[in-house]
Amino acid sequence: MKNLYLSLKSWGVGTSLLISLAGISLLSQAQEAVLEVKTGTQVTQWSRERLLAEAVNISIAKDSAYQRSMHYRAVPFSKLMPDAGQYSSVQFVALDGFVANIAGRDLVGAGQPYLAVEMPDQAWPSVKPDNPANTASAGPFYLVWLNPTAGKITNEQWPYQVVKISVELPLQQRHPQIVPLPKSQAGYTQAMRGMQVYIKNCAVCHTMNGGGDAAIGPDLNLPFNPTEYLREPFLRQLIRQPGSVRSWKQSLMPRFDEQTLSKQELDDLVTYLKRMASQRKSK
């Protein structure tokens, strides 16, 4: 597999420094943002000016970050990664530690992904309007989808404040401790389906058995699994509407309604969580 990645840089500012500034306004860094595209030994620097020259006007009926209609200057993702469909997993890393692993087939599918580019003289609104201490927008780079319903794209596949996009091995190959075992045990097939639900919707913020990329939410099996300290009806309610079970100002967990997560997918996820809890206790 070719080593292919995109990373956000600023002149004189390293990515690690940018990540450490997650809670600070991104405007000054965003003004100097450069998108680096690396394919094997070939490196291309995409300046904001060059990206905007390739951009078109798009309208999103219901934007994930802003929960309303939005208009953007955006570049079709195919211009940045024309061969995305051949990769099993493409990773998007955000400033706050959010990490989305998106199947390459989704990035060439019916969802129609674009990379929205924040114009330096037209900043987008804050993504946390209720938090005056955090005025950061979704920019400077934000993955948006023209037709998320057709592509079965969930809210967790709209990474914003993107600092790096890289082709990686699938999460379960890089972190085998997230895989349910043994294969011979009843319910294995459903637990494996549940693992895919976890990767798509939960692994963006949570790890499992210490395995994963994200650094926002707690591990879902260490030291305990939520199936061990929440009765199942409340666990399901927490997933569907987190604020109805527990709520605080800094809470980041979104709601997963039936349009986002079907009843079958929720059943599969709960089965997966139970299996992982039993695996830990059997060790």
Q: Which residues contact 169 (CB under 8 A, 6 or more apart)?
A: 1, 88, 89
Return the higher-pLDDT residue of 246 and 172: 172
**Average confidence (pLDDT) over 172-187:** 92
Q: Would you say the C-alpha torsion 80, 110, 118, 206 has a positive or negative sign?
A: negative
Query: pTM for this structure?
Result: 0.80
Cis previous bond, 148, omega within 30:
no
Q: Considering only 43-47, 73-77, 257-261, 275-279, which range has the smallest mean pLDDT? A: 43-47
- Report the run of H or E that residue 79 belongs to, with start and end: helix 77-80
Rounded CA gap, 267 and 271, in Å? Answer: 6
Residue 39's pLDDT band, with cuts at 50, 70 and 90, is low
Contact yes or no for 77/107 (Cβ under 8 A): yes
Question: What local confidence, expressed as pLDDT, does residue 16 receive?
Answer: 42
The sheet with strand 56-60 has its strands ordered as 56-60, 70-76, 113-117, 141-145
Does residue 141 contact residue 52 with C-beta atoms inside 8 Å?
no
CATH topology of domain 172-282: Cytochrome Bc1 Complex; Chain D, domain 2 (1.10.760)
Those residues whose C-beta lies under 8 Å from the C-beta of residue 111, and which sit 6 or more positions away, are 145, 146, 147, 148, 150, 151, 152, 153
Q: What is the pLDDT of residue 26?
A: 43
**Contact present, 115 and 107 (Cβ < 8 Å):** no
Q: Can you read off the two tokens belonging to residue 52?
A: 């905007």
DSSP letters for 196-239: HHHHHHTTTT--BTTBSS--SS--SSSS--HHHHS-HHHHHHHH
Give the pLDDT confidence score for residue 41 in this predicted structure: 64
Q: At what angle do helices 188-201 and 263-282 cross, to 10 degrees?
A: 110
pLDDT computed for residue 38 by the predictor: 64
Helix axes 263-282, 232-240, angle to 10 degrees: 130
The closest alpha carbon to 209, from 154, 278, 264, belongs to 278
For residue 24, give the 3-state DSSP assignment.
coil
For 20, the 3-state DSSP assignment is helix
For 206-259, write each residue's pLDDT tens digit: 999 999 998 788 999 999 999 999 999 999 999 999 888 887 776 778 888 888
pLDDT for 18 beyond 70: no
Find out whether 114 and 142 touch, Cβ atoms under 8 Å: no
| Residue 211 structure tokens | 């395995």
- The domain limits of the chain are 4-169, 172-282
